[in-house]
Amino acid sequence: MDTTIYFIRHSEYLKLKKMKYDDTDQIHNEKQPLSVNGERRARLLSELDELYHINMVISSHYVRTISTAKYIAERNDLEVYINEDFRERKHGVNWDQIPEDFEKRQFYEEDYKLGDGENQKEVRERMYQALLNVLDLFKGERVVIASHATAMTYLFMKWCEIERNEENWDIKMSFKGNTFFERPFSAPETFKLVFNENKELISIENIAVEYHE
């Protein structure tokens, strides 16, 4: 029996200003809420027929993912369950200490990281182990997981060929020779992954949404 996982990158968030002596950059990042437009987009996303009759809604502990997932949970009369293993990649240093080539190097060098942050391989492994647990617990069901663009990209590298355009941030993703995504991530962004009973990925597709702004 196949299991369907919808990985959803959070909706558009509000970039809050940070006082000098407030939380660390990591905590500040986790607290970013959705913008007004982000709330609208998240609600519109939840109205897709594809996201009805969902059995479970899971989110990282970031405010913006929980705020995105809540609309899907409400429509399906479900609660949002928090799993921190679906969180975004941890930078490991304050934002003003991140070098200009950080994103590029981490994309191409799976062991590269800063401070007490995470490298590409570590992000992929924690995401994958968390996903395997979901596939064990909800076999044959339809599950939404609200997560983050970088973390999702690193996870998808387990099965997909992924190329990155350094000039415009286009991401090209292919599975078994078929390209299913070729542009920058939107907010939100939805991918449908289908796994067989052996927890093997058998299909992946992007579900595009027009928000008419």
Q: What is the pLDDT of residue 184?
A: 92
Q: What architecture is the 3-153+186-207 domain classified under in CATH?
A: 3-Layer(aba) Sandwich (3.40)
- Give the predicted TM-score (pTM) of the model: 0.94
Tell me the CB-side half-sphere exposure of residue 147, using CA atoms within 13 A: 30
The sheet with strand 171-175 has its strands ordered as 161-164, 171-175, 178-183
Q: What is the pLDDT of residue 22?
A: 61
Q: What is the pLDDT of residue 21?
A: 54
Q: Are 126 and 158 a contacting pair, CB within 8 Å?
A: no
Q: Which helix (H) or strand (E) holds 75?
A: helix 63-75
Q: How far is CA 106 from the centre of its chain?
A: 17
* CA–CA separation, 38 and 34 (whole Å): 5
Q: What is the pLDDT of residue 166?
A: 78
Which ranges of the chain have pLDDT less than 70?
Answer: 18-23, 213
Q: What is the pLDDT of residue 213?
A: 67
Q: What is the pLDDT of residue 168?
A: 72
Q: Which residue reads 């975004």 in tokens?
A: 88
Q: What is the pLDDT of residue 126?
A: 98
Q: What is the pLDDT of residue 202?
A: 98
What residues does each domain of the chain span? Answer: 3-153+186-207
